[in-house]
Structure 1
């Protein structure tokens, strides 16, 4: 039985490199600037999750999801699924900021991060397909 070859995306070499730069930068942001403060108990992160009102366990769950997503963005195989997961996480963050925390301008950050993750998900959509 022949194994089907994986088709390469129709990205130009420049677009492919630019997407990798975006993946690495966004991945590092999620790992270092977003997940790490949640794990070490940064007072701002603790206050946000106090404001949500469901307990600090959610801070660790969100931190773990951000850490996994950030690492996933920086891998060839998991970049697409990680980007989709981060889009969903950022939708949840934006909705929480808007309707639970009444964050006003703070809603912009997860929306921007979500759009950047969506660009990656679109560019790496070939990693979302399961081989047959």
Structure 2
């Protein structure tokens, strides 16, 4: 009986299957548009209305709200750019986990933390499935 050992050092980068690829792109486009239009966009276009509609935002400095809006818009755009999908998903994972913490501890509404945590799980999955783009991006930047 012979045994073989696998050499994983030269393995091809992970690529999702055809159906999974389509599901990922559908999620990326929908979530990207959500973050550009519905989440980050209003923080940048009408920041005064944001503090009027959500009193918990008054405890957050105005400059931080603008920074969060910029990060959300950048992440939303990054989800729709093929080379940046994993990086954007990883960044949005951190952002949504922090948003869940804000909802739970600063706004004192722990039930509202469920949606950001669900988004964090989706973004984690997207980042994992698109991890090959991180290697490609690193190779492009180190040339």
Q: TM-score range by the shorter chain?
A: 0.7 to 0.9
Q: Within 1, Cα distance between the matches of 2:42 and 2:56?
A: 12
SS at match of 1:77: helix
* Structure number, greater radius of gyration: 2
Residue 108 of structure 1 corresponds to 114
Residue 2 of structure 2 is aligned to residue 28 of structure 1: no
Would the aligned equivalents of 2:15 and 2:129 in 1 still touch at CA under 8 Å? no
Residues 112 and 44 of structure 1, relative CA distance in 2, 3 Å threshold: farther
Would the aligned equivalents of 1:49 and 1:58 in 2 still touch at CA under 8 Å? no
Residue segments in structure 2 that go unaligned for 5+ positions in a row: 1-11
Residue 66 of structure 2 corresponds to 60
Would the aligned equivalents of 2:84 and 2:133 in 1 still touch at CA under 8 Å? yes
Residue-by-residue CA offset, 1:72-119 (whole Å, 9 max, x unaligned): 000100000000000001111111111111112111121111111111
Residue segments in structure 1 that go unaligned for 5+ positions in a row: 1-6
Residue 82 of structure 2 is aligned to residue 73 of structure 1: no
Q: Within 1, Cα distance between the matches of 2:134 and 2:116?
A: 23
Instruction: Give the aligned length.
Output: 123
Q: Within 2, Cα distance between the matches of 1:16 and 1:9?
A: 12
Q: TM-score, normalised by structure 1?
A: 0.85
SS at match of 1:11: coil
Q: Within 1, Cα distance between the matches of 2:64 and 2:87?
A: 22
CA RMSD of aligned residues (A): 1.5
Residue 12 of structure 2 is aligned to residue 11 of structure 1: no
Among 44, 62, 78, the alignment partner of 2:53 is 44
Q: Within 2, Cα distance between the matches of 1:110 and 1:61?
A: 18
